[in-house]
Amino acid sequence: MANYLVVGLGRFGRSVAKTLYENDQDVLAIDEDEELVQQAIDSGAVSEAVILDASDETAMKNIIKDNFDVAFVCIGANVQASILVTLLLKEAGVPKIIAKAQSRSQGKVLEKIGADEVVYPEEFMGKRVASKVLRHTIIEHSKLSNKYAVVEVLTPKSFVKKSLIQLDVRKRFEINIIGIKDSENNVLISPGPDTIINEGDTLIVVADSKKMNELNRLK
């Protein structure tokens, strides 16, 4: 089992920590705000959280002494602290560092000093909201190879209240549904043929890259 460190318990950091914890991973979360730390523990988002100023190098080095496989730097609003923490994590030899950024320029700096991956939550949510308004179906995709991609698809109205076996998407659209995410971001992995699709669900599918435009035309 991997060990995860989450630095910052704002909405993004808390969501990351909660998702990891709910999937039975070992998670340590830290934040300088005592109230945020207590809220995270009381709500069951994490079982272990520490009140700590991430810009305190000595305190951070003591925390990083533990062997973490992945660290999430979720303090994008504090650029200086975000850069310092990323540097400390890199120097400590943490294998993978994922950092939150609020701008592309901040993201470039974080990548240069050692972040393995930079995420832009505000940008992603903006695209997601706009996609829902425009009824574009595809909201996110990750390329697996030259031929296939993992795609997040907003549930078409024609899919609502139907089971996977009724929809027969593999034959009709040449896609495989490997997960379903509900409106509260709970994810069902490998749904069975009798699983019912609900309004507001997001389908996680493996699709032929050439079929992307067809997915966007689903109603």
The domain that holds 25 is classified in CATH as 3.40.50.720
Please tell me whether residues 87 and 14 are part of one structural domain. Answer: yes
Nearest Cα residue to 215 out of 171, 165, 174, 162: 174
Whole-number average pLDDT of the chain = 84
| Position with higher pLDDT, 162 vs 66 | 162
Q: Give me the pLDDT at residue 87, please.
A: 93
Q: How many domains does the chain have?
A: 2
Q: Is 23 part of any domain?
A: yes
Q: Is 78 part of any domain?
A: yes
Q: Give me the pLDDT at residue 207, please.
A: 78
Domain boundary among 119, 144, 167: 119
Q: Give me the pLDDT at residue 45, please.
A: 86
Please tell me whether residues 144 and 107 are part of one structural domain. Answer: no
Domain boundary among 92, 119, 146: 119
Question: Which residue range(s) make up the domain with 205?
Answer: 131-216
Q: Give me the pLDDT at residue 149, please.
A: 76
Please tell me whether residues 74 and 140 are part of one structural domain. Answer: no
Domain boundary among 119, 140, 165: 119
Q: Give me the pLDDT at residue 215, please.
A: 63
Mean pLDDT along residues 151-175: 86
Please tell me whether residues 114 and 151 are part of one structural domain. Answer: no
Has residue 179 got a pLDDT over 70?
Answer: yes
Q: Give me the pLDDT at residue 143, please.
A: 58
Q: What is the pLDDT of residues 105-138, one digit of tens each?
A: 999 999 999 999 999 888 767 766 665 555 455 5
Has residue 141 got a pLDDT over 70?
Answer: no
Q: What is the pLDDT of residues 34-78, one digit of tens each?
A: 999 999 999 888 889 999 988 888 888 888 877 899 999 999 678
Least confident segment among 3-7, 111-115, 119-123, 147-151: 147-151
